[in-house]
Structure formats: structure tokens, C-alpha cells
Structure 1
């Protein structure tokens, strides 16, 4: 490498405080020989980092941003995710969209969901009539924001629920553990053979070219 190019790159790597590449590297005849080593270290450690860490998020929205902003080459190694599924209606739109991000995590094994299905609301009219001020927020658990979106998630290997979750677990877990459509262990392809109106399989007949 030309000396001028080498000096330019080395000087650009030095922080104004004086920190930068180690002196042994800067004084080396070919300091750029260290870069392939760094690349090998990254390629070896990156799958371990994403595969062994349990990534925790305080909401489906923050989890979704992390998933979509992580490069696919890294994202494919993510195995553990935990998040809190809030039941507040004001996050309904973000939550529904965010839950679809789980479908692109091919290596996801344990998914941990913290949820409080017994959330209750203060209701003045109920209190005045029955002497109670708290009522169930969701009498139909499927109306909890994004629960219907989670019902469409497939292909997970393990799902764990935490909190007040008995009904939600029964509603979701069975579907989430089913294989994805189109996989070898899942359902067959949706392609169908052509069938005539009388129910007999249609045969493709090659027609001779039309001459004008």
C-alpha cells in the first residue's frame, strides 16, 4: 500500500485525545494485516453474542425496532427474547404491527412474554350501581391489543408466559408452537392442480402455434 494512503488511514484512526491504534500496530510495516484477524474474531464471536444473550424489551414496539434494525446476518442468530406485553389500548396500533416481527426470527427458541390479563378499569357508573369501582378491562381476552396478531405467529420452539396469563397462554401457545406454513415440517404447499368444473383434473394440452 502506498505510504501516503497508509499514513492517511492511520492518522484518521487516531482520536484527537491521542488515543487510536496501538503503537505496535502503527509501527508495523503492514498494520492492515491486523484487520483480517479482527474480521475473523467478529465472525466467530458474533453468532455467540446473539445466540446466547436473552434480549429483554419493555414493550413490543422496542422489540420490533431492535429486530428490524438488526442486520439479517446478525438477526438470524437471535435465540432468546423476553418482553412485556402491555394491555393499554393506546399502544394497540404499534403493538399489532410489532408482533409480526417475531415471524422473521428463524432461530428463536424461548420467547418469554410477561402479561397481566387481569387488568381492571375504574368505572364510576358500575360503582354507583353495584358498589364496585373495578371491572375487568377485557372480558374477551382476544380483544387485548395485538393478541389476535400473536395468534398468527407460528414456528416457535418454546413459549413461556409470566404474570397473570392462564387464559392468554391457552389462547396463544398452541398456535405459536405450530410449524410455519411452507416448511418441511409444516403444511404442504398451497399450490393446487388445475381442476375442471366437473371435478376431473384438467390436463394441459399443448396447442399448435397459430399462423397468420
Structure 2
């Protein structure tokens, strides 16, 4: 599975659970499409070493190939076609070559989806706008580390990770559908666990995997 889908939905009934003002979050419906198997988490080389001064260093490599970017972009464009036909691609192309490639490929793929309005945003601005004006976003596509951060930030629009589902899909073959929250053994047997995220995960399975 190379594509992680993380919805952040705030219906009126949950708007008061958010730490943000009701008027900011009520009606928010965002889908973050995160590339899951590339980028800095998996790039090589990585490790520890020493520099020419003898100082200890740690290093990682942020790498994406054109095919990796293209396939996640297509997942996002196809999701946008089924929603409001708006897609925001998040990168850091003002300083990172890997993001320059990302933006170039997304723009090229967009020509196959002329009905979808494509916009671009730098990751730092996207993180700010997600709190300042969350209703601006519909479908967001981004790389692994940026998606990791943004999807957790977006989950708090609804007030809790425990209320949201997720899906990891590959486009061909079965996907993985699960709540964003963990197993929460600390509340086992107390009859206080909220099943909403599990129910919504099952709904995503019906939508994307059947």
C-alpha cells in the first residue's frame, strides 16, 4: 500500500469537540492523501557518521522517483474528481529539489484531469492555513513526512484522533482500513471506547475496496 487516505470531517455534532472555534471547523471535510512508502523515511543513504571535523552526524535522504509521485498524484486526482474537484499539492519546492520534482510531476499529471482545479502550497503555509482557514482545503496530496505531520494536525480539527478513520491502498489488491487511534488498552473493559472511527473505517473499506 503506497497511498494513505486520512479524512478529517467535522459535522455540526462534533464542532464543539474541536479546540478551534465552531465557525472555523463546522462543516470541514478534508481528505489528506499521503505518499506512504517513499521520501525521507525510506530514502538511502541514511545513518550516522563523522564529518571532517570529527563531529558525530546523523543524516537521511529524501528521495522520490517520477513514477512514485505520479501514482500518488493519480490517486489524489481521482479522489478529487469524486468530491469537489479541488486538489491542493503540498511541497517545499522553494528550497528542496525533491519537491521541485514533485511539483513538476503533479502539474504534468494534472493535464489528464482537466476537470480538477489544482493549487500548490508550501508545507509551512499549509500547516498554518489548516488552522487559520481549514475550509479552504478539500483533497490534499503530499509526501510522506509532510503528510504524516499534516494528517495528525488535521485530526485535531475534529478534537480527537479517536474519532477518525484511515485507509492505506495500493490501487490494485486489498487495502488496510483502520482507525487512526491505537488499541487503547488503558480503557479496556470500561465501556467508554467510541466506535465511530471503526465504523467509518468500515465505510471507507466499502467505498475503496469493494
Q: What TM-score range do you get, normalising by the shorter chain?
A: under 0.3
State the structure with more CA Rg: 1
Greater RCO between the two (CA within 8 Å, min separation 6)? 2
Given the two structures, how large is their TM-score scaled by the length of structure 1? 0.25
Q: Would you tell me which structure has more strand in proportion to its own residues?
A: 2
